[in-house]
Amino acid sequence: MPIEVGIWNVSSENVKKVEYSSIDSEKRLEDILCGDLSILDSDLLLIGRQTLTGFGKKIDMLGIDETGKITIIELKKDKTPREVIAQVLDYASWIKDLSYTDLKEICDEYYNDKGDKEFESLFDEKFGTSPPEKINQEHDMIIVCSELDNETERILNYLSDNYNVPVNVAFFRFFSDSGSEYLSRSWLIDPKEAEERLSYSKGQKTEPWNGRDFVVNIDVNDGKSSYNDLIKYNFFTAGGGVWYSKTLANLFPGARIFAMIPKKGYLAVGEVLAESVPIKDFHVQYEDKEVPILDLPLEYEPLRNNLDNPDLCYYAVRVRWIEHLREEEPFWVKGLMANQNSAFKLRNKFTLDKLTERFKLDD
């Protein structure tokens, strides 16, 4: 069963529960998700809406992630249990055979009336890199609804648990209070659990992710890094453009990060304590007080750049550093994982084993 979401207004002495209300229409929810797909999944680029299949049906939404995996997104609407499950599986049977060219055409057609950007430029704008040569090597399915009957839930759990069918359900509910509207989201299967489960399934093309570990790249400018500030004030930061800062949003309290300087090596391991915020809003513990980080002496001056520009400013996450090395003595051996993203999932077992040993972790 999904986690039940409750919201209470505690802005006054009289605590009041905000009641769940039905959305005006399924189309409104679809409009909201198409306007900002990060509400569903921040790692997805929308490439199609109401996409016509080869057998005359229309897929509500299509997304793609940085690895080229395709996600089918279908609103339950008024379909019966058998209809919604049969439909999304039928769509998957069509999607699996689409080529790079087919998916590019779907994307270009969708964005045709939204400007002159094509698939490759949209992909680069979202992920900061060109699309993989091979895409659609994997796909998954998400059913979007406000609630699910027991029969549908049983069938979906059976398909996922016993046959590793990559299908999940995202529950969205609307809440209205004092003229303001709120949207909540919960999952039938925790996405991290679903990803790990599929990683171990037959035919998986990537190593499994343990749902916790990330690698983060320490910022360097004109030969000087932010490392000393990070260790001194217990945080991690990235910025100077959306591509650099956006992946910090993937870090969550409890995540573990291995910090490295690109082309040099790994320097520290720590635990994330809070989600990322613009650096002008970031506070740290200093001499037993909560102090804005920008009020403290910083060696890395770029942190103060573009403070009022949300696309260009730096973002920061609070970290408890577990172990760190001198910057002049980074750890590196051939074969360790590296990536140009500011933060990325550490899937490589060889790298994780070597880092665990070097930093004397008790895993």
Q: How far is CA 297 from the centre of its chain?
A: 33
One-character DSSP codes across 48-109: EEEEE-TTS-EEEEEEE-TT--EEEEEE-TT--HHHHHHHHHHHHHHHTT--HHHHHHHHHH
For domain 7-199, the CATH class is: alpha beta
Q: Which residues of the chain does CATH 3.40.1350.10 include?
A: 7-199
Which candidate, 104, 18, 41, places its Cα nearest to that of 68?
104
User: What's the pLDDT score for residue 134?
Assistant: 86
Q: Class of 213-358 per CATH?
A: alpha beta
Strand partners, 324: 268
Tokens of 157: 């759990």
- pTM for the whole thing? 0.65
* pLDDT in the model for residue 115: 64
Other residues' Cβ atoms within 10 Å of the Cβ of residue 339: 16
Give residue-wise pLDDT tens across range 271-285.
Answer: 999 999 999 999 998
76-97 tens-digit pLDDT: 876 776 788 889 999 999 999 9
The confidence score (pLDDT) of residue 202 equals 45
Q: Residue 85 is which amino acid?
A: I
Strands 343-345 and 256-261, by their bridges, are unpaired
What are the C-alpha distances in Å from 13 to residues 8, 176, 243? 12, 19, 43
Residue 272's nearest CA partner among 250, 290, 292 is: 250
Listed as ranges, residues in the chain with pLDDT below 70 are: 1-4, 21-24, 78, 81, 114-116, 193-206
Task: State residue 178's pLDDT score.
Answer: 76
Which among 190, 175, 132 has a CA at the least distance from the CA of 1? 190
Residue 145's pLDDT is 85
Angstrom distance (rounded) from CA 113 to CA 124: 20
Beta carbons within 8 Å of 334's beta carbon, 6+ residues apart: none
Whole-angstrom distance, CA of residue 68 vs CA of residue 133? 9
Torsion of CA 32, 33, 36, 41, to 10 degrees: 150
Q: Are 72 and 141 in contact (CB under 8 A)?
A: yes
- Closest to 274 (Cα-Cα) out of 316, 216, 323: 316
**pLDDT for res 194:** 67
Which residues in the chain are classed under CATH 3.10.590?
Answer: 213-358
**What's residue 151's pLDDT?**
82
Distance CA 312, CA 246 (A): 11
